[in-house]
Amino acid sequence: MWFTMAKPYFVAKKQAFSPPPVFIKTLNYMSITNQCWYVLYVKTRHEKKINDILQAENIETFLPLVKVKRNWSDRKKVILKPVFPSYIFFRVDVPSQFYKALSLKGVFCCIKFRNEYAVVNDAEIRNIKLLIGLDSVESMSVTNDNIKKGDIREFKHGPLTGLKCEILNPNNPNKILVRLESLKQSITATISSNYLSGNSRPRIKRERSSL
């Protein structure tokens, strides 16, 4: 697995919410004032509900959703599905908001890597927003696989301006990959070839160490 989950921090329903002082002191040393994005791991199919509760508590959140077509025997319907199942991105101004988020019913933990909270930077959040805001995306998925690097592209015009991605297969340039290093995950998406025209850049090769 690429990530380890923190142990859930539960608060009894009948008890007043009061974070441990030592934990608050530790949290104060984190980059709270820099508006870092953290990631909550929540109960499956409860992402939207918990996201609404967080926003009602004045906690800034980002829940990436993508349109998915569903076919039933009697009808067809387009639904909004989380790009990252069970994940909600959030950022706080003060430690009390952090603990408030962890105390909500259905929230299991905050994603950690090696005992440190995973921090997602603004550039990665922006890349996700660019992809989910594109109406012509035919398919989108998230993978934890260690995918070999492909040709690097950067969009210079259009709705994806500034987005850096990789083309994994030269014979299928419509399928792109966007890496999220902070989460050790990648997003793959199939987009219109119109967005790729004129965006080609030389392949970036890694030099082997002489050691």
**pLDDT per residue as tens digits for the range 85-101:** 999 999 998 888 998 99
Q: How many other C-beta atoms lie within 10 A of the C-beta of residue 108?
A: 17
Whether residue 22 has pLDDT greater than 50: no
Report the pLDDT value the prediction gives residue 207, as an integer from 0 to 100. 40
Q: What CATH topology corresponds to 21-120?
A: Alpha-Beta Plaits (3.30.70)
Of 20-34, 80-94, 182-196, the poorest mean pLDDT is in: 20-34
With a CB cutoff of 8 Å and minimum separation 6, the contacts of 129 are 62, 64
On average, the pLDDT of the chain sits at: 78
Output the six-digit token pair for 58. 């004045």
Give pLDDT, residue 70: 82
Rounded to 10 degrees, what is the CA torsion of 122, 128, 133, 134?
130
Using the predicted structure, report yes or no on whether residue 82 has a pLDDT greater than 90.
Answer: yes
Cβ–Cβ < 8 Å for 124, 130: no
Quick one: which of 79, 77, 82, 85 has its CA closest to 67?
79
8 Å CB contact between 186 and 142: yes
| H or E stretch covering 188 | strand 185-190
- With 50 as the cut, is the pLDDT of residue 185 above it? yes
- Sequence ranges of the domains in the chain: 21-120, 123-195
Tens-digit pLDDT profile for residues 52-71 = 999 999 999 999 998 888 88
**Structural contact between residues 3 and 111, judged by C-beta atoms closer than 8 angstroms:** yes
